Chain A
């Protein structure tokens, strides 16, 4: 029990550090928020929700997640930038706490940032796309966090992969998107199913279960492999 509590306290310390750093500059949240808003407006112009209401409802799940995907990528890229200044990364490597605690702390911090963006974006999205969910809207409270965690956990990991790469910002979407496609499929299908009411609750639940399974599998792999990546030299 004690090692687990110790591990949890390490994760908490890393989380607090990231939250504090972010609060002081609020770069990531502001950038993400505005970027997601812009993407929603672009899609609004591209797909004309007022002119094609039924079609819009069918594609709105996809649009929401694409907007969040691109917004998260912009934030994830610079989430590791803090660790590069002042040789902080070397200090992290030498610290006796497990490397995966650093990873989890940062992933949870990124998760919180994206959830804040989602909370602000969802009402705007509903307004711009004139959405009335035809299914059980409370399911979205399950789908959104699960889907966000799938993007954030892999995104934080791959952002760390690209730390010393040339063309670091380009590498993250190139790696993240192929791996995330099954999760993206599940979250879009589940969200669209809720918004259009076209899918049975059983089918939506299956998508949610797939998403949860994906989250568990990839969180485990990320935790196990982060130490290797941090000490990759």
Chain B
């Protein structure tokens, strides 16, 4: 096993490279800094919305997070395909792909949850209702359900099979996402319902742009940070598992290695 830390006598739970650790801290600091600037812009600096007043400021959180939440399912799909491809060809690469798939699914669920919750709060404050079955909300809810079911499968399946089964489910979910989007949109054009959040062309005044841009960049950097952090965590768990298995095998051998 070329990468096994056991051979190098290094504790696998420690970060093996200080460069990566410093980079991670730097990235974290950048994320926090951008988000702080974004907070100041969104809450204090940009003018409040003419129609909604200060309630509308949640827009600068809700929309960037909603936009980023649409990215992570694709990352999960790509990683799952990579896992299925490498599964029998290069198991170590497959394991890495699987760790990335798990991390991106979790971040997808987190970001989608935040979108749903902030959207709900905003809806209640601005329009008086917590929820509506319009096209956008329903599609996002279904996306959330799909990736929660992915995480459920990972939790419930038996250990040897988890990765393959989860990768297969990820393919199903990824194929389902455009189908969900199109069918729900057709459903709602058939029975038009009020369009919330002002519709796709809701104008945003130029003066509001800084808050939006800072927040979209900030939440993107943060999303990448937690994705890679979770990925690293999962990789360490996998390596620890592998080493434990190796130790068990070596302990069972009669000839000392």
Contacting B at CB under 8 A, from A120-176, are 154, 161-162, 164-167, 170-171, 174-175
Q: How far is the CB of B180 from chain A (nearest CB, A)?
A: 5
Given A162-B156, A166-B158: A217 and B179 within 8 A (CB)?
yes
Q: Are A174 and B179 in contact (CB under 8 A)?
A: no
Given A181-B142, A217-B179: A228 and B168 within 8 A (CB)?
yes
Interface residue from A154, A165, A177, A221 paired with B157 (Cβ < 8 Å): A165
Q: State whether the Cβ of A79 lies closer than 8 Å to any Cβ in chain B.
A: no
A177, A181, A186: which has the most chain B beta carbons within 10 Å? A181
Q: State whether the Cβ of A191 lies closer than 8 Å to any Cβ in chain B.
A: no
A175 to B161 CA separation, bound complex (whole angstroms): 16
Q: Are A171 and B183 in contact (CB under 8 A)?
A: no
Contacts of A218 in B (CB 8 A): 172, 175
Count how many chain A residues have C-beta atoms less than 8 Å from C-beta atoms of the other chain. 33
Interface residue from B165, B180, B182, B190 paired with A161 (Cβ < 8 Å): B165
Q: State whether the Cβ of B241 lies closer than 8 Å to any Cβ in chain A.
A: no
Q: Are A164 and B168 in contact (CB under 8 A)?
A: no
Interface string of B138-157 (1 = CB under 8 A from A): 00001001101100110011
Given A185-B184, A185-B187: A175 and B153 within 8 A (CB)?
yes
Q: Give the interface SS of chain A, mostly helix, strand, loop or mixed.
A: helix
Q: How far is the CB of A169 from chain B (nearest CB, A)?
A: 11
Q: Are B156 and A182 in contact (CB under 8 A)?
A: no
Contacts of B172 in A (CB 8 A): 154, 179, 218, 221
Q: State whether the Cβ of B164 lies closer than 8 Å to any Cβ in chain A.
A: yes
Interface string of B176-188 (1 = CB under 8 A from A): 1001101110110
Contacts of A167 in B (CB 8 A): 156
Interface residue from A175, A182, A189, A199 paired with B169 (Cβ < 8 Å): A175
Least CB separation from B173: chain A residue: A179
Q: State whether the Cβ of B171 lies closer than 8 Å to any Cβ in chain A.
A: yes
Interface string of A100-137 (1 = CB under 8 A from B): 00000000000000000000000000000000000000
Q: State whether the Cβ of B160 lies closer than 8 Å to any Cβ in chain A.
A: yes
Q: State whether the Cβ of B217 lies closer than 8 Å to any Cβ in chain A.
A: no
Q: Are A232 and B161 in contact (CB under 8 A)?
A: yes
Q: How far is the CB of B251 from chain A (nearest CB, A)?
A: 24
Q: Are A174 and B152 in contact (CB under 8 A)?
A: yes
Interface residue from A154, A210, A233 paired with B186 (Cβ < 8 Å): A210
Nearest first, the 3 closest Cβ-Cβ pairs linking A and B are: A178-B145, A232-B164, A232-B161
